[in-house]
């Protein structure tokens, strides 16, 4: 997987206006893994695209009435079938983490890359999602020197009590094994030995 000018070469590009410049353009030092489904627990369709591009129709589903005014985005989404959609170039700040803290630093959007996985906390993610996630993470690790396998976290890690994703169904050990097989060995991280 190649990154050219902060965009994935082989991803579907759908630009979101829900982004801005990072306070320090050289500080990309964290990856945050999220889980998302719209409506909750349902997969497929273009609802996530609509949310991240401010085109979500509030009358299309009762849940959408509550969220249609949100201005949110992520850098990339990995769908259940493995398709990757990129909404924000990696050098810009996507609006994915909200109120957050990592190792004493608040405002994680300032220095992180947000990756959404189409899924739910209690539903296992797909094999294709894990493979494409490992490919994407490997490309990010190779291109942004501030990143390391130990600086990959879940949304729940930076917003405990407020967020639960990617949830207990997400297999962190599998991700670390896949990264290790691609030459990226974590040294500590979540305390998982690979």
Indicate left, alpha or beta for 82 from its phi (over 0: left) and psi (-120 to 50: alpha).
Answer: left
Is residue 146 left, alpha or beta, with left meaning phi > 0 and alpha meaning psi from -120 to 50?
alpha
Catalytic residue among 57, 116, 118, 173: 116
Instruction: Check if 106 is active-site.
Output: no
Closest residue by Cα to residue 62 from 44, 46, 45, 40: 40
Verify cis geometry, omega within 30 degrees of 0, for the bond prior to 39: yes
* Nearest C-alpha neighbor of 90 from the set 48, 31, 150, 134: 31
The catalytic residues are 116
């Amino acid at each position: 997987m190649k990154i050219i000018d902060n965009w994935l070469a082989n991803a579907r590009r759908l630009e979101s206006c829900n982004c801005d410049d990072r306070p320090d353009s050289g500080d990309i030092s964290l990856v945050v893994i999220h889980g998302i489904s719209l409506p909750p627990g349902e997969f497929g369709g273009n609802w996530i695209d609509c949310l991240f591009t401010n085109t979500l129709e509030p009358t299309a589903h009762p849940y959408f009435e509550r969220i249609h005014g949100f201005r949110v985005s992520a850098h990339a989404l990995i769908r259940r079938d493995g398709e990757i959609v990129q909404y924000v170039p990696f050098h810009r700040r996507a609006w994915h983490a909200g109120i957050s803290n990592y190792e004493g630093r608040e405002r994680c959007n300032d220095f992180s890359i947000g990756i959404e996985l189409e899924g739910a906390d209690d539903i296992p993610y797909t094999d294709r999602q894990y493979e494409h996630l490992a490919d994407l993470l490997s490309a990010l690790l190779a291109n942004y020197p501030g990143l390391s396998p130990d600086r990959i976290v879940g949304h729940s890690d930076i917003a405990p009590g407020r967020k639960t994703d990617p949830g207990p169904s997400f297999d962190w050990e599998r991700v670390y094994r896949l990264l290790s097989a691609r030459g990226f060995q974590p040294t500590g991280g979540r305390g998982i030995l690979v």
